[in-house]
């Protein structure tokens, strides 16, 4: 019996340098920003986490104190107000700006005359920085020379509008200003969503005898549901970072009634020399963000998989 050797020796073709360069260049180009993101996001987060467990005061030190900083943080009334404010503000701000943004988008979607003008007007607040917004609105809220003074000047002598002067209402002044600032942004996203809906769907609903409001509720808005989520997520991270708006509008006052976590962190770290407790507060802000963003990312991944399954 004779066997023939059927295996032919194969030499791997040398990868041409051009091809190798082609795979290396993207990595080279992306490397600096990847490294920077890694250092600034992960390294500093971990460092802050470590500081929050340390006895740092004016300067970072590394004496381990366990959860002492967190305990003293949560024992502080001002921090509790700040954290409550964060949820109060986030809730009203997100729901309010989305509701008003959606309403504006639906109104503009009715093919109004001068649509571009309206769009620009409503989107304009977004072009103004929070500092400017806060400053201008602080004048408007100011009882001495703001809206109250103006209306009283018109003759209504006992008209009262002094949200920022009262510690119970000051937070609503911040909420209203926040909504004013970002409704236009929500409107722009919603309008883009409304315009992407297949016009045949609306015609079909028309023939099906659905009223305009029913068409929006049952057909159009469910179709653009992903946009609601996107707007909410963007607004939430605006809300949690809120610093400059409050700094310019009320400076956290009256008293401590409009203190926000970001202001509190800044105060502890750079004004009072309590870096350890400030780091603990910063970690609590991160936790608030994670509560929102982690489920969102999980949902995005899940949806992509589901879409992959359905082709």
Partner 1 sequence: MSALMIRDLHKSYGGLEILAGINLEARTGEFVALVGPSGCGKSTLLAMIAGLETVTSGEIWIGDRLVNSVQPKDRDIAMVFQSYALYPTMTVRQNITFGMESRGVPKAEQAEAVKRVAALLQIEQLLNRKPGQLSGGQRQRVAMGRALVRDPKLFLFDEPLSNLDAKLRVDMRTEIKKLHHRVGKTTVYVTHDQVEAMTLASRIAVMNQGSVQQFDTPKRIYDRPTNMFVAGFMGSPAMNFIPARFTGSTSISVRAADGGDATLALAAPLPAGAPKDVVLGVRPEHIYRFTTDLKSRKPAVEPMQAPVELVEPTGAETLAVLRLGDLEITGRFEPDDAPVMGETITLGIDMSRACLFDPATKALL
Write the CA distances from 249 to 78, 164, 168, 172, 183, integer angstroms: 18, 9, 15, 12, 18
- Give least dist CB 243 to partner 1, A: 38
- Provide the mask over 190-229, with x wherever binding to partner 1 is found by CB under 8 A and - wherever it is not: --------x-xx-xxxxxxxxx--x---xx--xx-x----
Give the total of residues touching partner 1 (CB under 8 A).
19
Of residues 272, 298, 269, the one with CA closest to residue 283: 269
Q: Choose between 145 and 208: whose C-beta lies nearer to partner 1.
A: 208
What minimum distance in Å lies between the beta carbon of 223 and partner 1? 6
> Tokens for 279?
């780091």
Nearer to partner 1, 59 or 207 (CB): 207
Whichever of 49 and 230 has its CB closer to partner 1, that residue is 230
- Three-state DSSP state, 64: strand
Shortest Å distance, C-beta 305 to partner 1 = 14
The sign one gets for the Cα dihedral 139, 140, 142, 143 is: positive
In the complex, minimum distance from the CB of residue 35 to partner 1, in angstroms, rounded to a whole number: 41
Among candidate residues 124, 97, 129, 120, the one with its CA nearest the CA of residue 231: 97
Which is closer to partner 1, CB of 221 or CB of 239? 221
Looking at beta carbons only, is 6 or 207 nearer to partner 1?
207
CB of 244 to partner 1, least distance (A): 39
∠ CA 231-284-133 to the nearest 5 degrees? 50
Burial of 135 (0-12, 13-18, 19+ CB in 10 A): middle
Residues that bind partner 1 (CB under 8 A): 198, 200-201, 203-211, 214, 218-219, 222-223, 225, 310
């Amino acid at each position: 019996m004779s066997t023939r050797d059927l295996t032919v020796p194969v030499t791997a073709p040398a990868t041409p340098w051009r091809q190798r360069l082609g795979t290396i260049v993207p990595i080279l180009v992306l490397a600096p920003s990847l490294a920077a993101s890694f250092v600034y996001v992960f390294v500093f987060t971990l460092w802050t986490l470590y500081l929050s467990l340390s006895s740092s005061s004016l300067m970072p030190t590394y004496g381990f104190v366990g959860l002492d900083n967190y305990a003293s943080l949560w024992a502080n009334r001002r921090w509790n107000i700040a954290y409550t404010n964060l949820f109060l503000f986030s809730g009203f701000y997100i729901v309010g700006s989305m509701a008003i943004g959606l309403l504006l988008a639906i109104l503009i979607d009715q093919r109004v005359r001068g649509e571009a003008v309206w769009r620009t007007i409503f989107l304009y607040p977004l072009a103004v920085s929070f500092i400017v917004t806060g400053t201008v609105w602080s004048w408007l809220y100011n009882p001495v020379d703001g809206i109250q003074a103006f209306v009283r000047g018109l003759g209504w002598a006992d008209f009262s509008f002094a949200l920022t002067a009262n510690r119970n209402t000051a937070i609503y002044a911040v909420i209203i200003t926040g909504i004013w600032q970002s409704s236009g942004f929500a409107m722009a996203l919603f309008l883009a969503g409304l315009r992407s809906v297949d016009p045949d769907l609306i015609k079909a609903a028309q023939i099906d005898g659905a009223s305009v409001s029913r068409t929006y509720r049952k057909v159009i808005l469910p179709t653009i549901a992903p946009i609601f989520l996107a707007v909410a997520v963007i607004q939430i991270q605006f809300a949690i970072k809120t610093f400059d708006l409050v700094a310019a509008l009320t400076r956290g006052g009256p008293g401590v009634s409009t203190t926000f976590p970001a202001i509190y962190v800044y105060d502890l770290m750079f004004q009072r020399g309590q870096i350890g407790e400030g780091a603990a507060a910063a970690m609590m802000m991160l936790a608030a963000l994670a509560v929102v963003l982690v489920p969102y990312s999980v949902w995005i991944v899940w949806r992509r998989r589901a879409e992959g399954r359905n082709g």
